[in-house]
Structure 1
């Protein structure tokens, strides 16, 4: 490919530029921290050695997590979270080496901490700036990648609409080849000529699953072309969940429905629950004691209501709530949802349910590891049995731990689900949360819950 046809990101790829930016960030951050701590930018040789070691750790960790791969479709929030985890790991490694080498008295802990903080801000700021600049360039028609689309007309139309809806990703159509059900040799030969004349950077093979066998013949026909080839299958009739490519037992797999809480994500989610849940548990302890005393003196029966619910991956656990109803027993193990004016609800219980204070004991479930602060709300077992065959992908909401609050709840889908449509909407929001999970989304939901989730007219 000629230099003229190369885009900006091809001439200056992230794999080359970003490591240099990270090195600059570490050196600049360390110098600033030294000036802040000691009032001088003249570094002692032991601090120079520390900078070299930290730089090597940063480059190695970023390479291991794939942070230097192409950024074109990576969200800024994802870049920053990934960068923060790398810097956190480097901080742990650096401090561990200083401790075990008995060199703590030779290095300022404040300098180490400030160096990592300043360098993270510089490296993160550079990434945000680069993404914003590239997005603006792509919106103006520069730094774009030309794509040749191959497939049936109806699928090509959907893919083209997706490209137009995401102009910031910087893809443009260089050509289209509409395929019959089974392309013959003449069709494949024409495709080869058209791809060559289009000078497309990428070829996207857009086929429904039933035409999967055609992919091999197209891929073989394009074997002498240097354009990148991607297969974009049509999953329109399938409700996918956290879908991605993976490798299992030495084979490539297309994951159609998997949990996002694996590996580092699982650790981050648990740390979030322990730190935030532990802090909230301490803050609400006086309130919980007051509510417990009020329940005990206002109506006969236990303070806590306990009921089995379905947790992550279908396991069952006991969920805890402050009792808000008179003690009663339902026939046949059925579970009747509370309704407006429900005579079973006590006066105190009505207030607790309306303000969500009856949910506070579930922070104990969070500390146990059976629930999360944010996640799909756990339903009664009888409700799961009823809705699993009525609502598509209903049970896939159990791919993650249930939560005290969730995306559905902050969007107004809290309380009684007296119609099938309401449950379908709640499940739709739950699955969207699972498919788009991030720490930032969790924090946003917690923030919205504080202002929107405590008082709700649908909670009876």
Structure 2
């Protein structure tokens, strides 16, 4: 069952980017207003301008560490206000520390600095409250909602559903329940209720419900595992909201959803900050690569056109982040041939369909260069799990453990699996299983430096490989 793509992920990413830009602009605006109120000399103005620029750079690096750019849907607005305020104070203290080390604090107007700090703090707090107020109005009007199907029974389940219903501005709506104690506990009035897990899962898939919340006690491990196994092949967010009234503290992976602690069981493995950082790197790298490689790509295009009939580029449908389908670009390496719908014949060693030029392109991976266009369009990343043909997705998602979770992030031109030798034809399940295991390792251990390591490894040893044919 495929889930139709919704705008939720794109909206969240855009909201995070805009929040970062707004914070940086408010820092500059606060400094400008303070300067108008407390004018200083030209020398001081130049020094204060450098101080402001330093703080803007520090804000880009430090503010994400306070978790203020992640999703706050259903979480405490006041906690966000405190996090934003303390984050800005930390930025200002770091800026002052650097100015002190450079022996420049004596030249900075103290009145201007204090005024700037207070005005910026007021500005970032006011902007957050305004955004949440606007989003609350939108959600109360029935837009920007995430539908929730709840698993559980009894008072704890009822409490979770009532929390959702009593907080319409946070953006959740309960739409169904799975009663885990059918017969002994009444169903929640007004919501479709199921007693069979398979029927419940079929309803979730059919209605394309985005969230499944498990409102269960800590002792109901068997039920948790059954639900996990049932939805293991679906891109639905599973969240465990245990009945933990007697427990005082949780680790940092637990989030607060409308007053109840929730543990993410299946969700995106990368934070909003990581996704933005990766997106910025991808666009910059792709733009530079396309400019630098333009002569090479033009030469390849001319050679392909001169040596065989057909288009220069080959396109094929692939799945991207969250299962979105896009068209991937490659230089054509095979002769034009008819392909049976729904049947994919992988290239094999000595495949007669491959042209002489195409064999060289495939062996050196130069046929992949047009995918920088996909990166620039936001459909792919420079580094990530390699996208497979949709026919392979349908074939392997039910037989290879964890296969579907490769699509929690954008696919890449190169990846951890590729630099570790998992390239070329996947004619055995074991090969695909090994590739997926490496992809999942990458998702669990992602860092910017791991991406850099993969890029360097691809250039040094990954361009030519015995499995590339």
In structure 2, C-alpha distance between the alignment counterparts of 1:356 and 1:57, rounded to whole Å:
41
Is it true that 1:393 corresponds to 2:402 in the alignment?
yes
Aligned-partner SS, 1:276: helix
Instruction: Return the alpha-carbon distance in structure 1 between the equivalents of residues 346 and 324 of structure 2.
Output: 22
Distance 1:345 1:45, change over 3 A: closer
Aligned to 1:34: none
Q: Which has the higher contact order (CA 8 A, sep 6+)?
A: 2
User: Distance in 1 between the 2:306 and 2:53 partners?
Assistant: 61
Distance 1:59 1:268, change over 3 A: closer
Offset of residue 59 of structure 1? 9.2
CA distance in 2, matches of 1:59, 1:274: 22
In 2 relative to 1, CA 216–282 (structure 1 residues): closer, same or farther, beyond 3 Å?
closer
Measured at CA, do residues 217 and 315 of structure 1 come closer, stay the same or move farther in structure 2, by a change above 3 Å?
closer
Indicate the structure (1 or 2) with the bigger Cα radius of gyration: 1
Q: How does 1:313-392 map to 2 (within 5 A)?
A: 313-392=322-401
Q: TM-score, normalised by structure 2?
A: 0.51
How do residues 106-185 of structure 1 correspond to structure 2 at under 5 angstroms?
Answer: none
Q: Does 1:435 align with 2:440?
A: no
Tell me: CA distance 1:252–1:344, structure 2 relative to 1, closer, same or farther (3 Å): same
RMSD across aligned C-alpha pairs, in angstroms? Answer: 3.8
Q: 5+ residue gaps in structure 2?
A: 1-42, 68-86, 96-106, 109-217, 225-240
Distance change >3 Å, CA 207–CA 446, structure 1 → 2:
farther
State the 1:447 CA deviation: 0.6
Q: Distance in 1 between matches of 2:54 and 2:268?
A: 34
Mapped pair 1:298 → 2:307: yes
Separation (CA, whole Å) in 1 of partners of 2:266 and 2:400: 16
Taking structure 1 as the reference length, the TM-score comes to 0.52
Whole-Å Cα distance in 2 between the matches of residues 291 and 320 of structure 1?
Answer: 14
Deviations 1:152-210 (A, max 9, x none): xxxxxxxxxxxxxxxxxxxxxxxxxxxxxxxxxxxxxxxxxxxxxxxxxxxxxx99945
Matches for 1:25-64 after TM superposition, within 5 Å: 64=63
Partner-residue secondary structure (3-state), 1:321: strand
Question: In the superposition, relative to structure 1, how do residues 211 and 447 fare at CA in structure 2: closer, same or farther (>3 Å)?
Answer: same
Structure 1, unpaired ranges of 5+: 1-43, 69-85, 95-105, 108-205, 224-228, 232-242
Residue 447 (structure 1) aligned with residue 447 (structure 2): no
How far the C-alpha of 1:217 sits from its partner, in A, is 9.3
- 2:261 maps to 252
- What is the total number of aligned residue pairs between the two structures? 270
1:196-345 matches, within 5 Å, as: 209=221, 219=247, 244-345=253-354
**In structure 2, how many angstroms separate the alpha carbons of the residues matched to 1:55 and 1:359?**
40
Contact 1:259 1:434 in 2 (8 A): no
Q: Cα gap change, 1:379/1:361 in structure 2, threshold over 3 Å: closer, same or farther?
A: same
Would you say the 8 A contact 2:329–2:371 is kept in 1?
yes
